[in-house]
Chains A and B, each alone.
Chain A
Amino acid sequence: QTVVTQEPSFSVSPGGTVTLTCGLTSGSVSTSYYPSWYQQTPGQAPRTLIYSTNTRSSGVPDRFSGSLLGNKAALTITGAQADDDSDYYCLLYLDSGISVFGGGTKLTVL
């Protein structure tokens, strides 16, 4: 079974830059996996940030960017703000309509 990996936690200082990654236990992430990223704050539904590797969803600030980094998908936050303190999930499209979420990264801004 395919497992999608993410860092369990990360911290960044206000104004700093952080890169979260999304990988596979077996193989490399490519654009064919259409990586997407979601932000979730406690008690709220997820919010779509990035789709198809690097396209920002409507209304998402440009401090959020997506890319491929080595054999992983990556979400970079440039100039982190206090309200970026959230959980972040990646989603990879595998095949035949099936997708899998990563375990999520808890980002602390302090």
Chain B
Amino acid sequence: EVQLVQSGAEVKEPGESLKISCKGSGYIFTNYWIGWVRQMPGKGLEWLGIIYPGDSDTRYSPSFQGQVTISVDKSISTAYLQWSGLKASDTAIYYCARSSGSYPYYFDSWGQGTLVTVSS
């Protein structure tokens, strides 16, 4: 069974850094893209970016390029989303999702989400 298990909720202050994780299991981790999706409170889904664990090829939405960093440690089947200086507007639920095989056309499995709260 494909599973994506995300790290727990975080509460941070503005300006702090943060790295959240997404561990895949039940499939060959290096063969499927992993994407990150943001959902701000009461709002819709936003596509942030995607990474291919096999070679760390990474693509970002133009809206989020430079705002977040996506990385992967394939030795432990884990993808990461990180910030170097959080803002209150980063408060949201962040989902990781597995994308379809060789091309990231759609998501077929989802993590449970990580709530990030940024407040002073």
Contact = CB atoms under 8 A, between A and B. Distances in A.
A57 B44 contact: no
Majority secondary structure of chain A interface residues (helix, strand, loop or mixed): strand
Interface string B35-67: 101000000111100100000010111110000
B110 A51 contact: no
A97 B106 contact: no
Taking residues whose C-beta sits less than 8 angstroms from the other chain, chain A's interface range is 20 to 34
A101 B59 contact: no
Interface residues of B, number: 28
A58 B83 CA distance: 35
A87 B35 CA distance: 20
Contact of A52 (B33, B97, B106, B113): B106
Contacts of A47: 110
B30 interface: no
B107 A38 contact: yes
A45 B45 contact: no
A101 B103 CA distance: 17
